[in-house]
Structure 1
Amino acid sequence: MGNSSVSIAFSDIVAAARRYSLAGMLGWQDVRQRYRRSSLGPFWLTISMGVMIGTIGLVFGGIFATPMADFFPFLSIGLILWGFISSVLTEGCTGFIGAENIIKQLPIPLFVHILRMMWRNILILGHNILILPLVFIFVGKPLHLISLFSIFGMFLVLINLLWIVLVLSIVCARYRDLPQMIISVLQVVFYITPIMWMPTLLPKRIGLQILNYNPLYHLIEIVRAPLLGELPTMTNWVASILFAVVGWFVALVIYGRYKRRIAYWL
């Protein structure tokens, strides 16, 4: 039963990957539709993110008495990544629900809708990333060769987010109250993840417990640390990789088992 479920799920995902151009076109259309007749389009989000980074940086940098040259880049990368991750997870809850009409009318692989949602958020992330060079120039912080590790880190982040939103899309299609619960959980996780505060501010013993058992911290750190000129810890890499391997196995089993029921739940 388990092998059969994995086979069904894997076949759908491979079929969706082959139609990546369709997912890309739909994702691009989503962005254009969302910001149609807007002069700046997605750059409004970039401006909003920049203002938020500047405000939080000045306030919390002063409260924590942290040098701005260290805190501003740390905060900027953290907020941009968190904005991407939280948007993907939130929209992932309605990944299949939002595509109800297409699912009921066209026989295309269901995973296409997950890729569509992911590509849509990657495009918005691309706009927000433009803030980082300005922040690094402002504080005079150079990039190092270590920064290239952030590419591998971002790849792991995307791999993990894909299986998470696949599971969320399935479960939330069945149980419609879950999206609100996910939003509430994300608000709590935001405050226990080092984004507006640096890990060095935590007491050593309690801090290690909070960080080690927070998978989103590890995912953010494997991207943020290289950009700040530091190597992520082995714990960060191992946790992120194990999270992906175990998560994808669980996601494939769940997807293969319930794939045929999704259309009836919508």
Structure 2
Amino acid sequence: MTTGDDRAEGAIPARPAVADVPGSRSWRRAFGDLKQGWQQRPLWGYLGWQDIKQRYRRSVLGPLWVSISMAVIATAMGILYGALFQMDLPTFLPYVATGLLIWNFVNGCILEGSEVFIANEGLIKFLPAPLSLHVYRLVWRQTLFFLHNLVVWAVLMVVFPHPLGWSLLLALPAFAILVINGAWISVLAGIVATRFRDIPPIIASLTQLLFFMTPIVWQYDTLLRNPAVAERARIAELNPVLHFVEILRQPLLGQPIEWRHWWVVLAITVVGCAAALVFLRNYRSRVAYWV
């Protein structure tokens, strides 16, 4: 006869594995999640705006600190690196500021995207809402930051006029592409980082490296015009962030449009969206167990 003591001395039962809900892995549910999240625009729109207000809750200037900090950093880096590289300040300062404007959006989507589900653990566990809602909220918040910082670009265009033309209209589809890529990066990185918690610090380290590899405080075109280093300089195009920065910075500064950057970005967008959809289809139902 088996007693309670005998059972106590037995092996500790293993933690039950997470079982997939029948039918949870389907394209219909994956696309349904995206659709339901989009339909809740008033909710994530309000939450994204509240995130910014909460960050500057007791400050006098409020969200204007976003633009002020951006302006101070851009001015300091523009003057410093302009002196080091002997660049023309009226040309180089808008170049650096516009690069930082775009980089802040890309960097925010990557860093916060890797923790988008971890940071919303309570809502995911207790609020029956689609996962995409948290992604839309994140991208909307980064868009608001971008619009705040766009004031710095507008001021610089007044102080240091650039020959803006019809190509400025390309800034709208270019930013739309950045938003789409910010969304799929958040979905993909968010799901992987929720399962493997070592991913966020790894991504944080890689983004620091990417900043120096991306032409933010150095000019890529200048290297291409130098015959001594032109061939080696093209290695920089292996950095995908370079292409995302260029498709938006060129129209914002009135520079000639180089369409090869657009083709690279469109290819990355298609592949990235496909990968994010596969992960959303296969692991959407497990995120609530992983957080």
- TM tier, smaller: over 0.9
> What is the aligned partner in structure 2 of residue 45 from structure 1?
66
Counterpart CA distance in 1 for 2:136 and 2:271 is 20
> What is the aligned partner in structure 1 of residue 268 from structure 2?
243
Give the alignment partner of residue 117 of structure 1, picking from 133, 138, 142: 138
The runs of at least 4 consecutive aligned structure 1 residues that moved more than 6 Å come to: none
Aligned: 1:216 with 2:237: no
Q: Report the 3-state secondary structure (helix = DSSP H, G, I; strand = E; otherwise coil) of the residue aligned with 1:89.
A: helix
> What is the aligned partner in structure 1 of residue 287 from structure 2?
262
Give the alignment partner of residue 194 of structure 1, picking from 215, 231, 242: 215
CA offsets per residue over residues 44-96 of structure 1, 9 Å max, x none? 12111111111111111111111122211111110111111111211111101
CA contact (8 A) 2:244 2:265 kept: yes
Change in Cα spacing, 1:231 to 1:14, as seen in structure 2 (3 Å) is: farther
How many angstroms does 1:5 deviate by? Answer: 4.1
Structure label with greater radius of gyration: 2
CA RMSD of aligned residues (A): 1.3
> What is the aligned partner in structure 1 of residue 230 from structure 2?
204
- The answer to which structure has the higher helix fraction is 1
Give the alignment partner of residue 149 of structure 1, picking from 156, 166, 170: 170
The one-letter amino acid of 1:96's match is F
Q: Report the 3-state secondary structure (helix = DSSP H, G, I; strand = E; otherwise coil) of the residue aligned with 1:129.
A: helix
CA contact (8 A) 1:5 1:254 kept: no
How many angstroms does 1:6 deviate by? Answer: 3.4
The one-letter amino acid of 2:35's match is V
Counterpart CA distance in 2 for 1:5 and 1:89 is 27
> What is the aligned partner in structure 2 of residue 228 from structure 1?
253
CA offsets per residue over residues 126-146 of structure 1, 9 Å max, x none? 111100111122223242221
Give the alignment partner of residue 171 of structure 1, picking from 187, 192, 198: 192
CA contact (8 A) 2:188 2:279 kept: yes
Give aligned pairs, total.
262
Q: Report the 3-state secondary structure (helix = DSSP H, G, I; strand = E; otherwise coil) of the residue aligned with 1:38.
A: coil
Counterpart CA distance in 2 for 1:56 and 1:33 is 29
Counterpart CA distance in 2 for 1:72 and 1:153 is 22
Q: Name structure 2 gaps, 5 residues minimum.
A: 1-24, 224-228
Matches within 5 A, 1:57-72: 57-72=78-93
Q: Report the 3-state secondary structure (helix = DSSP H, G, I; strand = E; otherwise coil) of the residue aligned with 1:171.
A: helix
- Report the TM-score when normalising by structure 1: 0.95
> What is the aligned partner in structure 2 of residue 55 from structure 1?
76
Aligned: 1:184 with 2:210: no
Counterpart CA distance in 1 for 2:26 and 2:245 is 31
CA contact (8 A) 2:109 2:185 kept: no
CA offsets per residue over residues 119-164 of structure 1, 9 Å max, x none? 1111111111100111122223242221111111111111111101
Aligned: 1:140 with 2:161: yes
Aligned: 1:16 with 2:41: no
CA offsets per residue over residues 2-57 of structure 1, 9 Å max, x none? xx643332111011111111110111111111111111112112111111111111
- Report the TM-score when normalising by structure 2: 0.87
The one-letter amino acid of 2:258's match is T
Change in Cα spacing, 1:5 to 1:209, as seen in structure 2 (3 Å) is: farther
Counterpart CA distance in 1 for 2:258 and 2:221 is 15
Greater RCO (Cα-Cα under 8 Å, separation 6 or more): 1
Aligned residues with identical type, % of pairs:
37
Q: Report the 3-state secondary structure (helix = DSSP H, G, I; strand = E; otherwise coil) of the residue aligned with 1:195.
A: coil
How many angstroms does 1:232 deviate by? Answer: 2.9
